[in-house]
Amino acid sequence: MVRFGRLELKHPVVVASGPLTDSFSKVKAAQDANAGAVSLKLTFVRVPFQSLMRSYSVPGQVIISPTNKRLDLDHGVELARRCKAELSIPIMANFSAVGTAEDDWKRLTEAFVRAGVDMLEPNYCCPNLDTSKMAQRGRHDHGGASIGENPDTVERLTAIMRAMTDIPIVPKVITADRHLLQESARAMEAAGADGIHYVGVPISGLPPVQEDGTPMMPLLHGTPPGSANGSICKFATFLGIAQIASVTKLPIMASGGLDTWKDCVDAVAWGAMSPSICSALMWWGWDVIRQVNEGVDDFLARNHYTSLDQFRGIALKHLTTPDKAVLEHGSSWVDPDRCIGCGRCAKPGHCEAITMAQNKAHVDPDACEGCGVCWSLCPTGAISYLGEAEVAANRAQAGRQEVRP
């Protein structure tokens, strides 16, 4: 059970606002897949720019989308009403306006509260709203991601919504600036938010090009920077979770690159309350939710946990700064019984420690710096890393074998 304010989710995985949540049939599919909640597609009072999805997609890596479908207020509210009338899954309303348009924020809040949604998710994160006019830091005529980088605006808008309703408010924010992220998290907490939804960077990107220089994005002429989503964001998501968890007690929802049950468990270990998924569902379908739920359940049983609460934030004790990190001396080690002699570990240009002999990889412990790259290249898991004492013990064992009659 996962809680945001008085809202309880039966399952931890939330379907993030996006192409998966812009119609009733998709929301129903999320419910049938046992998602914990659904965040409806981003809604505006008036959609500010053309609204059809175009993207560059590399499955398992990234989806870059410079334009995407948005909902105007009438369509967003009607979708929310129908979902609440016909479905049982908790419904979150994702909506946005520019930072100075307080009347729009009030209108959106009032309309979705009347529609009966279970949670408000004010959008302080969409990078596609950052036009050159909007994105100047310190200004208030900005939208989307640049709102999240202005703690004063975050606090003011969240407080306006808090004064209008007692249903849970979980603002969605994205920023690569650690200090601004933490300031915004504190501002949301001060304004009465019930949680924070953090989205991992990279925020935006451009696609590769064809040989004639045309961007590789179908049915689009002229390619603005687009939001970069998918697996590429995962590690920044973990960092953002940890940074928020270190300065606030608010429950954290997290998205950006969370594709598997392991990704979701890792997010919880860094302090998240609930993982949110989008890109993996766009690539692999609704069965991903079942796989994640089953994987999380298996993880809990295997480690004798009764809930994710017992595991939440367990990795935070290891978070430190570079000046306080302790480097353990040691080296990589190759298990000869598992090494297949493929030679991949001997190829990295920076490494002078690994050589191939008699179709096996061999490590010179004195030359090895323990960088961590060869381990990631081995297809059989033959490489591990040993501390100084284990390296000495291996050398002694090898020496005894050499002098054995």
pLDDT at 161 over 70: yes
d(CA 201, CA 98): 21
Domain span including residue 363:
330-403
Band of residue 371 on the pLDDT scale cut at 50, 70, 90: very high
Residue 325 in domain: no
pTM: 0.90
Q: What is the reported pLDDT for 50?
A: 65
d(CA 264, CA 244): 17
Residue 44 structure tokens:
């505006």
Q: Are residues 341 and 261 in the same domain?
A: no
Is the separation of the CB atoms in 278 and 228 below 8 Å?
no
- Mean residue pLDDT of the chain comes to 90
For residue 250, the 8-state DSSP code is S
Q: Are residues 380 and 239 in the same domain?
A: no
Can you say how many angstroms the Cα of residue 256 is from the centroid of all Cα atoms in its chain?
2
Q: What is the reported pLDDT for 185?
A: 96
Q: What is the reported pLDDT for 177?
A: 86
Q: Are residues 142 and 290 in the same domain?
A: yes
3-state helix, strand, coil in the chain (%, to 5): 35, 20, 45
Identify the domain boundary among 318, 343, 359. 318
Q: What is the reported pLDDT for 401?
A: 53
Q: Are residues 303 and 339 in the same domain?
A: no
Q: Are residues 80 and 160 in the same domain?
A: yes
Is the separation of the CB atoms in 240 and 269 below 8 Å?
no
pLDDT at 132 over 50: no
* 265: β partners: none
Is the separation of the CB atoms in 248 and 185 below 8 Å?
yes
pLDDT tens track for 316-346:
999 999 999 999 889 999 999 999 999 999 9
* 246: β partners: none
HSE-up of 103 (CA within 13 Å, CB side)?
Answer: 1
Look at the chain and report how many structural domains it folds into: 2
**Strand bridging mode 91-95 / 119-124:** parallel
d(CA 336, CA 291): 35
Q: What is the reported pLDDT for 125?
A: 86
Max Cα distance, the chain (Å): 89
Identify the domain boundary among 318, 338, 368. 318
Comparing 394 with 273, the larger pLDDT belongs to 273
Average pLDDT over residues 198-214: 90
* 205: β partners: 226
Q: Are residues 107 and 199 in the same domain?
A: yes
Whichever domain contains 376, its CATH number is: 3.30.70.20
Is the separation of the CB atoms in 11 and 34 below 8 Å?
yes
Using DSSP, state whether 335 is helix, strand or coil: coil
The position carrying tokens 């990704």 is 263
The position carrying tokens 């998290």 is 185
Residue 90 structure tokens:
């908790």
Residue 205 in domain: yes
Q: What is the reported pLDDT for 68?
A: 82
